[in-house]
Structure 1
Amino acid sequence: MRYQYKFDKILSLKSREKDEAQVVYQDSVKKFEEAADRLYHLLKKKEDLESFQSDRLLGGLPVQEIRHHQQFIGNLEKSIAHYQKVVMNARNIMNYQQVQLMEKNQEVKKYEKIKEKDHLQFLADAKYAESRMMDEVSIQQYMNREIR
């Protein structure tokens, strides 16, 4: 007798959903990393520009160039503020997808545990049936010996 798990289709469906959730989570991690990297580069650029401007101020700098640098830093700050929001949003999405993945993983583990218990019960039932059959065979052989 062959073992057939009664929830096999559900288990395969849940496994597929888990795999899809894994792909979505990996995509959200990638998007978060890209946004964080872009924010880091903007912050680094601002820091380098401010450092450059400080060095130039020590040696004297025309007012027009100071205005130009300040305007550029202002634009960088707007970009930084925008990317901070993008990073926060990407982080929230990533965290949500992580929770979804964990839930899918738990569902799959539940069905796998049920399958494991069901298989053990199947094996125990098969062993019991085999034992009963052996008992019947033994009884038949004993009875045949007595008749002779």
Structure 2
Amino acid sequence: MTSLQAFHKIKDLQDRDKIAKQKIYQEQVDRFESVATELYEALKEKENAEEKFHEELRETKVRAQNFILHEQYIDQLNKKILNLQPRVQQARSVMETAHDNLSSAHIEVKKFEKLIEKKLTQHEDWLKAEESKAMDEVSTRQYLNYKNR
């Protein structure tokens, strides 16, 4: 049974590792969500600005200076969006790596759980076999003692 205790200790170690990887994964998910939300808001802001400007064009006459200001604002938003896109991709990549690590840790824990379960089953089978041998021996002795009388 000492090997079983060793397997339990290893499983506990793997559990702690899995919990640590869950925390890292959750942090990466939160980081990805914040960067992705920032990108979404920039895209939405650009869309709203363009829509508002097109409404202004339809309803009233727009001065040339407003065109220039609008183009500068849209260019600024485009630069922000172009800056955010690689950050979102990087955050997604890091999050996916953390997810893969978490999956691996989960698999390792499951392996040790199955191994412990298998060892327990083997031990129970061994105990049953030993009990059966002992019962056979007792039965044989009783039979021989009865015959010798």
Return the letter of the residue paired with 1:105.
H
Q: CA deviation at 1:131?
A: 0.6
Q: CA deviation at 1:141?
A: 2.1
Partner of 2:90: 89
Partner of 1:47: 47
- Would the alpha carbon gap of residues 60 and 89 (structure 1) be closer, same or farther in structure 2, given more than 3 Å must change? same
Return the letter of the residue paired with 2:22.
Q
Return the letter of the residue paired with 1:143.
L
Partner of 1:57: 57
SS at match of 1:106: helix
Q: Is the 8 A contact 2:4 2:119 kept in 1?
A: no
Partner of 1:28: 28
Partner of 1:15: 15
Map Cα deviations across residues 17-75 of structure 1 (whole Å, 9 max, x no partner): 11211221122112111211111111010011011111212321122222222211111
Return the letter of the residue paired with 2:33.
E
Q: Is the 8 A contact 1:5 1:119 kept in 2?
A: no
Instruction: Give structure 1 stretches of 5+ with no counterpart.
Output: none
Q: CA deviation at 1:111?
A: 1.3
Instruction: Please tell me whether residue 125 in structure 1 is matched to residue 126 in structure 2.
Output: yes
Partner of 1:116: 117
Q: CA deviation at 1:4?
A: 4.0
Return the letter of the residue paired with 2:69.
H
SS at match of 2:62: coil
Q: Is the 8 A contact 2:35 2:87 kept in 1?
A: yes
Map Cα deviations across residues 64-102 of structure 1 (whole Å, 9 max, x no partner): 222222211111111111111111110000111111111
Q: TM-score, normalised on structure 1?
A: 0.90
Q: Is the 8 A contact 1:21 1:97 kept in 2?
A: yes
SS at match of 1:126: helix
Could you tell me how far apart the structure 2 residues matched to 1:25 and 1:50 are? 37
Could you tell me how far apart the structure 1 residues matched to 2:137 and 2:144 are? 10
Q: TM-score, normalised on structure 2?
A: 0.89
Instruction: Select between 84-93 and 59-68 the one with higher mean Cα deviation.
Output: 59-68
